[in-house]
Amino acid sequence: MSGRSVVVCGAGGFIGGALVADLCAKGYRVRAVDIKPVNQWYQHFDAAENLQRDLQQKQACEEAVAGMDAVYNLAADMGGMGFIESHKAACMLSVLINTHLLVAARDAGVGRYFFSSSACVYAADKQVSHDVVPLKEEDAYPAMPEDGYGWEKLFSERMCRHFSEDFGLTTRVARFHNVYGPHGTWDGGREKAPAAICRKVIQAKQSGDLCIEIWGDGHQTRSFMYIDDCVLGIQRIMDSEIDTPINLGSSELVTVNQLVSLIEEIAGVTLERSYDLDAPKGVNGRNSDNALIQKHLGWEPSIRLRDGLEKTYAWILEEYNARPRA
């Protein structure tokens, strides 16, 4: 694979930036594409060809894939639960990105195509209990995904499947489970739970107001995958013969309360907790069943949550202290 030409769509985002960094380090020729101006990307690298394009437009997708051997599609309008529950139409418009990229990839003779799906495709009735049974890949059907964002991801998975069946385009689909780590969103409304809680703990500690507000009752259960595991998993799945959607997530289950406690320990502080029961909180329980990825790859994400949170907290603390103060 060394030296092959690849395009990373959504390269200005959290996961996309980390993937570009790894691909460049491994000697790939990388074209990095995102809708944001390059100076607003989370990370960008001179070793890559960096392009600002709106990938909801067909011509932009054609330009993005031209001359490339492989496509990584991580481009989407998304964020944490607070964002996706209040921007359903915006999230669903991301279907234009995958549709135009698939057509462009087919027409350009691209060898392999990766699509980043989400655990939000899973049926809601499988996620009603805090004491969750880990989600198997077949649990996406009968379909009852997260409204808006989840439907877009599930539809786009089917598009990949049918482009493989009808046109012979080799597609790979990974269902991400709650990715976190440095160089991601940590404020502004699109951040996910680990980053949001890190920021809240830092604010409380530095202000002396030792209180934290938690969305929901704190008993919601989740697993969280560190970014390094995610990048490794993406490339292993891309290079594999796995031709059906597959979970890519940690199986280390915690409650939101336990997540807060871990970050408090890292920060060396104990906070008084209040619970906003009207805030977006998502499903009651969700975890990744990793039997299929273990079967095919002999591997699963394994970085401990505590270890990943220590690195994430340290990075957000540095960013928090460096930002201009009003």
| CATH number of the domain within which 266 lies | 3.90.25.10
Exposure of 91 by Cβ count < 10 A (0-12 exposed, 13-18 middle, 19+ buried)? buried
Centre a 10 Å sphere on the Cβ of residue 270 and count the other Cβ atoms it contains. 10
307 CA to centre of own chain: 19
| Pair 162, 43 in one domain | yes
| Pair 138, 215 in one domain | no
| Pair 33, 12 in one domain | yes
Domain that holds residue 9: 5-180+225-248
Domain assignment present for residue 188? The answer is no
Task: Indicate which residues carry an active-site annotation.
Answer: 149
| Pair 234, 281 in one domain | no
pLDDT of residue 312: 98
CA atoms in the 13 A half-sphere facing the CB of 176 = 21
pLDDT of residue 83: 77
Domain assignment present for residue 296? The answer is no
Domain assignment present for residue 187? The answer is no
| Pair 100, 143 in one domain | yes
Measured between alpha carbons, how far is 13 from 66 in angstroms, rounded to an integer?
Answer: 22
| Pair 153, 199 in one domain | no
| Pair 125, 239 in one domain | yes
Domain assignment present for residue 295? The answer is no
pLDDT by residue for the chain (326 residues), tens digit each?
444 999 999 999 999 999 999 999 999 999 999 999 999 999 999 999 999 999 999 999 999 999 999 999 999 987 666 777 778 898 889 999 999 999 999 999 999 999 999 999 998 888 878 888 899 999 999 999 989 999 999 999 999 999 999 999 999 999 999 999 999 889 988 888 999 999 999 999 999 999 999 989 999 999 999 999 999 999 999 999 999 999 999 999 999 999 999 999 999 999 999 999 988 777 888 999 999 999 999 999 999 999 999 999 999 999 999 987 65
Domain assignment present for residue 102? The answer is yes
| Pair 139, 269 in one domain | no
| Pair 280, 242 in one domain | no
| Pair 83, 198 in one domain | no
Inter-axis angle of helices 193-207 and 305-322, nearest 10: 50
| Pair 76, 207 in one domain | no
Domain assignment present for residue 316? The answer is yes
Domain assignment present for residue 61? The answer is yes
pTM of the model: 0.93
Instruction: For residue 126, give the amino acid letter.
Output: K
> Three-state SS string across the chain, please?
CCCCEEEEECCCCHHHHHHHHHHHHCCCEEEEEECCCHHHCCCCCCCCEEEECCCCCHHHHHHHHCCCCEEEECCCCCCCHHHHCCCHHHHHCCHHHHHHHHHHHHHHCCCEEEEEEEHHHCCHHHCCCCCCCCECHHHHCCCCCCCCHHHHHHHHHHHHHHHHHHHCCEEEEEEECCEECCCCCCCCCCCCHHHHHHHHHHHHHHHCCCEEEEECCCCCEEECEEHHHHHHHHHHHHCCCCCCCEEECCCCEEEHHHHHHHHHHHHCCCCEEEEECCCCCCCCECCECCHHHHHHHCCCCCCCHHHHHHHHHHHHHHHHHHCCCC
Domain assignment present for residue 186? The answer is no
| Pair 96, 48 in one domain | yes
pLDDT of residue 190: 81
Exposure of 326 by Cβ count < 10 A (0-12 exposed, 13-18 middle, 19+ buried)? exposed
| CATH number of the domain within which 175 lies | 3.40.50.720
pLDDT digits (tens, 9 = 90+) for 22-71: 999 999 999 999 999 999 999 999 999 999 999 999 999 999 999 999 99
Query: How many residues would you count in the chain?
Result: 326
For the chain, the domain total comes to 2
